[in-house]
């Protein structure tokens, strides 16, 4: 898939719960092809402590408006600066990066999309893509508390939505792996994005049930292009770059002890 360096124009920057923002970015020309699970490297301007680009997963692509959405959690200087962007500002992105989720063999199958915290971001585009291809997905999204659940209305439009919160303020109380839907339904494939302990817990469940499972990793990276070799993860075949061999890996490829 051809990669581009594009100056996007900020259409809107909306503050959401969980210290997150939703950036809608208009492409100046034709929006490049991109797959669910891919990411962009954004250049943070005027922030002296942010030297490198920031990898952000693609939340959604609205082709009718020529917009790409980024759901960003403000965790450091760089992402906080992104929170200050206003409509009309420019955001330079290298796009699209990474492999994306493998949706080739899921047509008509029961597919579960699990997201935790801001890790729900790529699940919206994945769910919408699956639905458009005729496979209505099931979403299972987890957060610490009700206010930290993101984009609930959008997920509901694209499939069946189940929720867990650690404090029980919404959905079932507990972690995503405690949700009753996992016992009630038999899923053929699970896609996961979120904190590593959550992904490992879901991967363990999937492995025990012999369900095909893909996870999206979020290692620290510099180039995003497979050049610097900083973002490697241990796999069955040695070190692989999360930026180009991933960020999505089948759990059987990884050297996880699960």
Angle at 25 (CA atoms; ends 20, 30), nearest 5 degrees: 150
Residue 175 has which token pair? 């972690």
Size of the site for another protein (CB under 8 A): 31
Closest CA to 224 of 71, 72, 90, 99: 99
Determine, following the binding rule CB under 8 A, whether residue 154 of this chain makes contact with another protein: no
Tally: H helices and E strands in the chain: 5, 15
Among 225, 252, 253, 258, binds another protein (CB under 8 A): 225
Closer to another protein by CB, 170 or 232: give it.
Answer: 232
Determine, following the binding rule CB under 8 A, whether residue 52 of this chain makes contact with another protein: yes
Which DSSP state fits 121?
A: H
Number of Cβ within a 10 Å radius of residue 151: 22
Rounded distance between C-alpha atoms, residue 118 and residue 20, angstroms = 8
Determine, following the binding rule CB under 8 A, whether residue 81 of this chain makes contact with another protein: no
At residue 69, the 3 state secondary structure works out as strand
Determine, following the binding rule CB under 8 A, whether residue 238 of this chain makes contact with another protein: yes
Q: Given the rule CB under 8 A, which of 2-10, 58-66, 140-148, 204-212 is the region that contacts another protein?
A: 2-10
Mask for 109-138, x = binds another protein (CB under 8 A): ------------------------------
Residues 203-222 that bind another protein (CB under 8 A): 219-222
Determine, following the binding rule CB under 8 A, whether residue 231 of this chain makes contact with another protein: yes
């Amino acid at each position: 898939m051809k990669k581009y360096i594009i100056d996007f124009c900020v259409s809107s920057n909306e503050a959401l719960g969980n210290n997150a923002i939703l950036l809608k970015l208009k492409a100046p020309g034709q929006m490049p092809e991109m797959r669910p699970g891919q990411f962009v490297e954004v250049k943070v301007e005027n922030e002296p402590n942010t030297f490198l680009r920031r990898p952000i997963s693609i939340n959604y692509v609205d082709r009718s408006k020529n917009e790409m959405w980024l759901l960003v959690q403000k965790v450091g200087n760089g992402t906080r600066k992104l929170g200050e962007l206003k409509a009309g500002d420019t955001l330079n992105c290298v796009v699209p990066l990474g492999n994306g989720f493998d949706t080739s063999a899921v047509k008509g199958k029961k597919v579960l999309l699990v997201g935790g915290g801001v890790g729900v971001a790529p699940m919206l585009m994945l769910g919408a893509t699956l639905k458009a291809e005729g496979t209505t997905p099931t979403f299972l999204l987890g957060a610490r508390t009700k206010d930290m659940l993101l984009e609930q209305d959008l997920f509901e439009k694209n499939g069946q939505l189940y929720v867990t919160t650690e404090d029980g303020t919404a959905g079932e109380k507990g972690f995503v792996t405690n949700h009753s839907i996992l016992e009630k339904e038999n899923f053929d494939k699970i896609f996961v994005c979120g904190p590593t302990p959550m992904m490992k817990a879901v991967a363990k469940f999937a492995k025990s049930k012999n369900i095909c499972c893909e996870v999206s990793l979020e290692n620290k990276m510099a180039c995003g292009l497979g050049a610097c070799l900083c973002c490697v993860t241990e796999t069955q075949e040695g070190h692989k770059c999360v930026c180009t061999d991933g960020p999505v890996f089948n759990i059987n490829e990884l050297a996880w002890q699960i």
